[in-house]
Amino acid sequence: METLRDRVLTCLEQMAPGTSQKELARRIGMAPSALSRALNETRGLTGDELVSLARELRMSVDWILTGEDPFSIRIAARHNFSQINGYQLSRAAAGERTILDDVALVFRQAVDDLQPLARRAVPTDPSEAREMLLDAFGSDSTLHFAEAVERVFGIDVVKLAMPDAAGYSMQLPNATVIVVPTENFWGRQNWTIAHELGHISRAEFTPIDEPASISDESAANAFAAQLLLPEEEMRKIDWSATRGPELAKFLWGSGVSIGALGVRLESLKIDRPEVTLRTGQLIRKYPPMDVGVFDDPISQRWVAAGRRRFPVRILVAHEKFETTRRSLAWMLGVEVDEASDEVEAQINLDTMATAFGFVPAKCQ
């Protein structure tokens, strides 16, 4: 049976590896002998001591005393993706639950050192959310969708390898986080982020082990459809007359797949364009921009969709401290000794501008 001592010392090792019990006592203003007796449950903890201990461990008083946290990870989306069956409702699988716990941990470790993001509520009206993204990022909002969502709504976007999962929304004490799988195609990734925004707009967060709601998933999909493929824009286009070059340009700019477009048009009872190529093949055949040997925006977009990603602000917060260097290395997917150098390589002017709130110039 887990004891108070087990919980506290395990959590201390997670939050600040190598920190001694004596050092913990100093940080919370207790004598080492008094903390030792408290952990062995031969002495009680005063209210002030409990609050100080909870703050140091980034955990609730309830968890310290009972091992149960009424404010544990809360998530919205619980669906996965199958190439055969499409989206299916599910609870977080064991491996995904571990990933979500790890993501929550790195945010908890950095709670006092995160550069704050300007939080703005996601409107329940997807058309309003779309306008907010376009106002801030212009036509680049779907080309750099994760960055746009972070900048406009203050929602952190994480990309990690999660086979078959379609993504999760998480409500943490110090952040709202969208976790999506690294993909070999950006279209489904963009749709997943938009889908999670739908959940977040309706505040559909419940304890992680509760079952999903079909109605919630349907509403989130409807939100994503109107955000990325607004009905009024769809009806302006003669899709039956749309051919390869125009279709490729539309897919590139909207950031969706030919499959998602087809489903959207079908739901609106609009005739679909005739096409036999998959999205990537179509865009390669009719590139909507100049593509060179050393400047290939299409390949760059593919690579970005498949690359592990954590927000710059969480990387910077962890880079400051040796005690969380292992967490930094996990976020970057590198060896511990390489973590600091990898942060330097990832932080360029664009990502720093996004992280600290500067709006990039709109493309003309």
> Domains of the chain, with CATH numbers?
4-66 (1.10.260.40), 74-228+310-355 (no CATH), 230-299 (no CATH)
Whether residue 239 is predicted with pLDDT greater than 90 in this model: the reply is yes
Task: Indicate the DSSP class of residue 163.
Answer: T
Residue 91 has pLDDT above 80, yes or no: no
Torsion, Cα of 277, 282, 286, 287 (10° steps): -170
Q: Is the pLDDT of residue 362 over 50?
A: no
Please report the pLDDT score of residue 279 as a whole number. 92
Q: Is the pLDDT of residue 205 over 60?
A: yes
* Cα–Cα distance, 41 to 12 (Å, whole number): 18
3-state helix, strand, coil in the chain (%, to 5): 55, 10, 35
Q: Is the pLDDT of residue 102 over 70?
A: yes
Phi and psi for 80 in degrees, rounded to 5? -125, 175
Q: Could you tell me the pLDDT band of residue 357, with boundaries at 50, 70 and 90?
A: very low
For residue 7, pLDDT over 60 is answered with yes
The pLDDT of residue 316 is 87
Higher confidence at residue 110 or residue 340?
A: 110
* Side chain identity at residue 112, one-letter code: D
**pLDDT over 90 (residue 294):** no
- Is the model more confident about 296 or about 68? 296
Give the separation between CA 12 and CA 51, rounded to whole angstroms. 15
Q: What pLDDT is stored for residue 350 in this prediction?
A: 52
pLDDT digits (tens, 9 = 90+) for 139-181: 889 999 999 999 999 999 999 998 767 788 988 877 899 999 9
> What's the pLDDT score for residue 85?
41
Cβ atoms of residues 127 and 121 within 8 Å: no
Bridge pairing between strands 168-172 and 79-82: unpaired
Tokens of 359: 């709006």
- Res 358 pLDDT > 50: no
Determine contact, residues 324/113, Cβ cutoff 8 Å.
no
pLDDT in tens, 112-139: 677 778 788 999 999 999 999 999 888 8
Task: Specify whether the backbone of 255 is left (phi greater than 0), alpha (psi in -120 to 50) or beta.
Answer: left
Residue 361 pLDDT > 70: no
At 83 the pLDDT is: 41
Is pLDDT of 359 > 70?
Answer: no
At 64, is the pLDDT very low, low, confident or very high (cuts 50, 70, 90)? confident
